[in-house]
Structure 1
């Protein structure tokens, strides 16, 4: 999730494997998410580094201002977080759609930059999503490993009021954490959350401005070689998507 530096060359990406809806209902089975709307936000944009003026423009997030968007991070081998996020988002969309959900993405790799964090929040709000999830990977020092889920803290200022979604977002976050850990086998973060796998923040516009239950997930640390080996694996990314889908299923039961 951390910015990798705006002047870096475009990172190369490993070959993407088409998402396969493993673990989804078979043909003719009941679709448990029929009628549900899920908003998926693939964090960042692989072309943001080419549009520094646009992404550095400040936007209002209730309790202050933030950059419109950031570049995100990458592995030492050049696999961009933005590419990871979008790949997992596609896999998750396939899984949820197979269960009957209507899935909306904040972007689908079809924009030159962004969108801004304000627009990312608005996608879930406008579609009245039952759940909104922002997918990321972290950029911490080597040795800091594992995943964590970011929950919204209470913000009621500057036109933002996320009070009604704080409690349901925590339930969503707990369900997502438990399912993600079970399916992927990944450990909870050893550097954020004190072993809970949860972190509450009030500095993220995507959470401050949301009017629907929403969390972020940091799937691992791209700067750590052991975590990076997982994040660059298509097989593991499918497990990550399945863990997210099962967490959303559990929350919506």
Structure 2
């Protein structure tokens, strides 16, 4: 064993050999990179995330958003109704009962004259239709606004009475609504159960002309009935509409005087104990709002 300070000759030769090998690898690597970057040899490097310039890459999970019960398909998320106007007409008014003379005034609905408004019905234990319609309307407004829609109310409990049925139609017309919905609950006999949607008939008389809205209103009503049934679990009416949940009428000023697609939704029968149990349940009313929102969304997106 040597004890001098000069390294043995073989170690110097090994170090020199390694330096030559490293330099050669660097030159070869640089040359390959230059060839790969050349115009005819493979194009640009891939973009971060794997999404090409034509948008064909996979989106991150959940990017499209969507309604909770419907999955996350395109167009179902927040903002899918951006630019759309929805008018919601909460039927009656909690203060109508204090303004009997005012709401009894007759107004022109085209083919006849009817009362300005009515007090509406109630459950046997006193839950008023006007309170029900406002609650569901406000819940639906929140969901529709989350989807990007502009929501206009005909009344929000902020009027002393009404407005009259002709004014309710006029509010939707002035707003150029893409869809309008009047919310109600029925006051039929016990045993009559389920919801139904009222569609406008063809009426052309006086200030009424529904010719342009009959077909789109039917589509709105059909979508609404389908989604309302699916989300709430409520049956279609067993006493109106022959099992379809759809009814056509020509005696409602809110429909006769509308120039935009519009329907009425009778959410159930307040005088039937089983229906009343649903209508008075806040959790069910939230489902009703979801069904309404999804029905309107289906109509506006197709």
**TM-score, length basis structure 2:** 0.75
CA distance in 2 between counterparts of 1:63 and 1:94 reads 36
Could you say which residue in structure 1 is the equivalent of 2:166? 118
Query: Which of 35, 40, 47 in structure 1 is aligned with 2:83?
Result: 35
2:37 corresponds in structure 1 to none
Displacement of 1:91 = 0.3
- Give matches, 1:1-253, under 5 Å: 23=68, 30-253=78-301
Unaligned 5+ segments in structure 2 are 1-66
Residue 160 of structure 1 deviates from its aligned partner by: 1.1
Deviation, 1:159, is: 1.9
- How far did 1:123 drift? 0.8
Residue 30 and residue 80 in structure 1: after superposition, are their counterparts in 2 closer, same or farther (change >3 A)?
A: closer
Flag the structure with more relative contact order, 1 or 2, with Cα contacts below 8 A and sequence separation at least 6. 1
Query: 2:118 & 2:124 partners in 1: Cα distance?
Result: 18
Report Cα offsets for 1:91-144 as digits up to 9, x if no partner: 000000000000000000001110000110011100000000000000000000
Aligned equivalents of 1:134, 1:113: Cα separation in 2: 16
Structure 1 residues 30 and 98 mapped into 2: Cα distance closer, same or farther (>3 Å)? Answer: closer
> What is the CA–CA distance in structure 2 between the aligned matches of 1:23 and 1:138, rounded to whole Å?
29
Q: Which runs of 5+ in 1 are unaligned?
A: 1-21
How many residues of Structure 1 are paired with residues of Structure 2 in the alignment?
Answer: 230
Contact 2:228 2:295 in 1 (8 A): yes
Alpha-carbon offset, residue 23 of structure 1:
3.7
Per the alignment, residue 16 of structure 1 pairs with none
Deviation per CA, 1:62-82: give whole Å up to 9, x if none: 001010000000000100000
Question: Which whole-Å CA distance do the structure 1 matches of 2:94 and 2:188 have between them?
Answer: 19
Give distance in 2, aligned partners of 1:46 and 1:23.
32
Structure 1 segments (4+ residues) deviating >6 Å = none
RMSD across aligned C-alpha pairs, in angstroms? Answer: 1.4
Distance 1:70 1:158 in 2: 23
8 Å CA contact 2:93, 2:119 repeated in 1: yes
* 1:30 Cα deviation from its structure 2 partner: 4.6
**Structure of higher CA gyration radius:** 2
TM norm structure 1: 0.89
Superposed CA deviations along residues 5-61 of structure 1, whole A, max 9, x for unmatched, are xxxxxxxxxxxxxxxxx84999xx651000000000000011111101100000000
